[in-house]
Structure 1
Amino acid sequence: MKKTDVKIGGEYFAKVTNKKVTVRIDAENRSGGWDATNLSTGKKIRIRTAGRLSGPSGSTAETETPATETRARKRVSKKKDATAMPTGEKKLSCVNAALQILGESAEPMNAQEMITAMVEKGLWESPGGKTPHATLYSAILRDMKRGDESRFVKTERGRFTARA
């Protein structure tokens, strides 16, 4: 909005604390901007620039919706496609796929080798991350903090095997 479009006594949509609320412009502030009243809370606020105002409010019914309803309307439910995965077949996690690869391998492997082997065998596929090997490496290190209960053994720097 432009400064010239703002009228004293008018009701406008305004962005206040990252929420879109209806305000009534009460007076012009001597330091610039306007003194206003937030109609949903009744509190006095100061609108410093016309950029905070997005336009005149039409009806009051449309502005009095709670913020949670507005957020709920923005959410879109993403239902899984039934054809994406056959029934009964469960997708392996990255760590479980790595355990399976290490169990089949006779030698220790690093995270990049494990990721490559998992993708080649079709056990796991990256959901689009740029560094799946770093994520796997981090998950293995977190698992190793369990001590003797860990499913992995570090043989040398960056190389792991599955615990027997």
Structure 2
Amino acid sequence: MATKKTTAKKATTKKTATRKPATAKKAPAKAATKKPATKKVAAKTTGKKMSALDAAAKILGEAKEPLNAKTMIERMAAKGYWTSPGGKTPHATIYAAILREIQTKGKEARFTKTDRGHFTLNQ
């Protein structure tokens, strides 16, 4: 059976807190100014990369039939909507993300599972 080692506690001395003199004043804080949104800012936000789920919704909107995850990934990459950042199984990731959206949002989800592994847009 293992035994515990005990160590003697060292005596510590308490230091008294030092206070700043009451005459010291803080510099006044500058008010934050907001710049109005311009057309240039709006143009930059539309140039953002599309998320995988947004790209999947766009691909399914263009498709006439339900698609599986591998086909969606191939079409997303071919059209340049979204590319995998280097993962080995992007089809499994998009499959899980679509199922998670269906599970959490219910009837408001963008996707519907039509068959085993196949999805279409919710109408």
Q: TM-score with structure 2 length normalisation?
A: 0.62
Measure, in 1, the Cα distance between the counterparts of 2:99 and 2:113.
Answer: 9
Measure, in 1, the Cα distance between the counterparts of 2:49 and 2:78.
Answer: 15
RMSD value, Cα: 1.7
Map of 1:159 onto structure 2: 118
Measure, in 1, the Cα distance between the counterparts of 2:122 and 2:45.
Answer: 31
Map of 1:72 onto structure 2: none
Q: In the alignment, does 2:108 pair up with 1:149?
A: yes
Within a 5 Å distance, the mapping from 1:44-63 to structure 2 comes to none
Q: C-alpha offsets along residues 19-54 of structure 1, whole Å, 9 cap, x if unaligned?
A: xxxxxxxxxxxxxxxxxxxxxxxx89xxxxxxxxxx
Gaps of 5+ in 1: 1-42, 45-85
Relative contact order: is structure 1 or structure 2 higher (C-alpha 8 Å, sep ≥ 6)? 2
Distance 1:87 1:154, change over 3 A: closer
SS in structure 1 opposite 2:67?
coil
SS in structure 2 opposite 1:160?
strand
Q: 1:134 aligns with which of 63, 82, 92?
A: 92
- TM superposition shift of 1:134: 0.4
Distance 1:129 1:154, change over 3 A: same
Map of 2:28 onto structure 1: none
Equivalenced residue count is 81
Distance 1:88 1:149, change over 3 A: closer
Say which structure is richer in helix.
2
Gaps of 5+ in 2: 1-8, 11-43
Within a 5 Å distance, the mapping from 1:87-106 to structure 2 comes to 88-106=46-64
Within a 5 Å distance, the mapping from 1:1-164 to structure 2 comes to 88-145=46-103, 146-164=105-123
Say which structure is richer in strand.
1
SS in structure 2 opposite 1:106?
coil
- TM superposition shift of 1:147: 1.3
Map of 1:73 onto structure 2: none
- TM superposition shift of 1:138: 0.3
Distance 1:134 1:88, change over 3 A: same
Map of 1:17 onto structure 2: none
